[in-house]
Structure 1
């Protein structure tokens, strides 16, 4: 299990880097702007990861 986690780590780090790189400065904005950005890019990256990288809490569905 540890080996699988370590193998997945580079992909996760790349996604985090890509989110920050393509965030269009959203990191400096308020939570509402961040949530809107995450919604627009939900097909590109996992929502939970985008929330973590941008420093907002994942919203409950519904």
Structure 2
């Protein structure tokens, strides 16, 4: 199955790609997988990964 099989919006694809980049960056600094893939909250995703979006848009895209 590929990402295009899920009928995601372009915003959702962009958010996933941005979160994956953050995950890879964390892994490159030696953070364990379990911790690297953990995002504490929508507020964290908004402030660290998608500051150009408002928090409500990040939450909506997550759903």
The verdict on a shared fold, with TM-score over 0.5 as the criterion, is no
TM range (shorter): 0.3 to 0.5
